Amino acid sequence: MKMSDGMWTLDGATLSEAAAQVEQRSEAAGLSEKSVGILDFIRRHPGGVRAKAVADQFGDDAHQYLKRLFEQGRLLKLTRGVYAVPDRPPTDPTEGGMDQEAICAACGEPMFLMEPDQLTHPGC
């Protein structure tokens, strides 16, 4: 929701667009403008984007931003040097909930988009 001329309106054409806006704003909380820009850039490439393309767009220090965003669970590594944004943001550890601690039993990496009773990534 957003305020416009004293009236509350949806922040998007549909309820799902408004929900996506809320999710993006909450994701950006506590992040620098450059981090948010990098996340938005990568989100526009759902098949993943190479670190070099991010560095070309945002400068050589983008590699450090990618590393931090990955360590925070805000990015996935699809393969070496290829990043994507997960379908859902990482959970806040203070909120409680099972999936913030879900770790693949085979490789030890965080589990994203788990199915019930799934203990490993496909292929692990």
Q: Which amino acid is at 89?
A: P
| C-alpha–C-alpha distance, residues 51 and 34, integer Å | 15
Express each pLDDT in 94-121 by its tens digit.
Answer: 443 433 456 677 777 776 665 666 677 7
The 10 Å Cβ neighbour count of residue 114 is: 15
Which pLDDT score is estimated for 97?
40
**What residues does each domain of the chain span?**
1-30
- The counts of H helices and E strands in the chain are 4, 5
The tokens describing 28, both together, are 């950006």
Band of residue 5 on the pLDDT scale cut at 50, 70, 90? confident
Residue 78, classed as helix, strand or coil, is strand
Q: How far is CA 69 from the centre of its chain?
A: 8
Predicted model pTM: 0.55
Residue 83 near residue 77, CB atoms below 8 Å: yes
d(CA 67, CA 73): 10
The CA-to-CA distance between both ends of the chain, in Å, stands at 42
The mean pLDDT value for 5-34 works out to 73
DSSP-assigned letter for residue 45: -
